[in-house]
Structure 1
Amino acid sequence: MYNLVLLAARPPEWTHERFIDWWRGDHAELTRRLPGLRAWRHTDIDAAFEPRSECWDGLSVLSFDTADDLRKALRSPEWAEAVAQVGDMRGRRIAVMGGELEMHAG
C-alpha cells in the first residue's frame, strides 16, 4: 500500500467534537469517493503521549495500491471538491506520503 497520512488540528473556534464529527461526517462523504482509495483509517486523538505532541485532533491514513494511484487521486475532481470543502478553516495539518510495510500482525 501507498499512504497519504494527515495529522490535523481543528480550527481555533471549533471544539474537538465538532471537528471530528465534521471529519467523519460531511468530509468523509467526499473523501470516500476518491478514485483508487483502497482503505481509510481515522483516529480521533484524545490524549497526547508527551507535551510536544499536544493540540492535534485527528489522524487519517488514506491507502492506495501504488504511489501513482495516489497521485491520480490528488489530481481528481473528487480531491478538488474535498479541498474546496476545507476552504479557509484555519486549522493546522501535516500531510506526508509513503509506502507502507506491515511490521507486526498480531
Structure 2
Amino acid sequence: MFNLVLLASKPDDWTHEQFITWWRGEHADVTYGLPGLRRWQHTEVLDAMDDKHSAGWDGVSVLSFDSRADLDAALASEEWKRAVAHVGRMRGRRIAVMGEERTMVAES
C-alpha cells in the first residue's frame, strides 16, 4: 500500500467536536469518491503525549492506495480538486506526507 497521511487541526473558532463531525461527515462525503482509494482510516486525537511537541492536533487520516501511481492519479483527479477546495473553506492547519506502508507487527 502507498499512503497519504494527513495530520490536521481545527480552525480557532471551531470546537474539536465540530471539526471531527465535519471531517467524518461533510468532508468525508467529498473524499469517498477519490479514484483508487482502497482504505481510509481516521483517528480522532483525544490526548497528546506532551504539550511541547504533540498538542494542538485534532485528527489523523491515512488514505491508502495500491501504488504510488494510483495515489498520483487520485491527486490529479477532479475529485481531489473538490476535496482540496472543500478543505480550503475549513481554515485549519495540516501536515501531509506520503509513503509506502510496511507492516511492522501483524494483527493477531
| TM-score interval, normalised by the smaller of the two chains | over 0.9
Runs of 4+ in structure 1 over 4 Å off: none
Aligned residue number for residue 69 of structure 1 = 70
Unaligned runs of 5+ in 2: none
Aligned length: 106
Post-superposition offset of 1:88: 4.0
Aligned residue number for residue 87 of structure 2 = 86
* Corresponding position: 1:18 with 2:18: yes
SS of residue in 2 equivalent to 1:83: helix
Listed one character per residue, the Cα deviations across residues 47-76 of structure 1 (whole Å, up to 9, x for unaligned) are 001112000000000000000100000010
Aligned AA (1:50): D
Aligned residue number for residue 41 of structure 1 = 41
Aligned residue number for residue 6 of structure 1 = 6
Distance 2:98 2:64 in 1: 10
Please provide the CA RMSD for this pair. 0.8
**TM-score (normalised: structure 2):** 0.95
Unaligned runs of 5+ in 1: none
**TM-score (normalised: structure 1):** 0.97
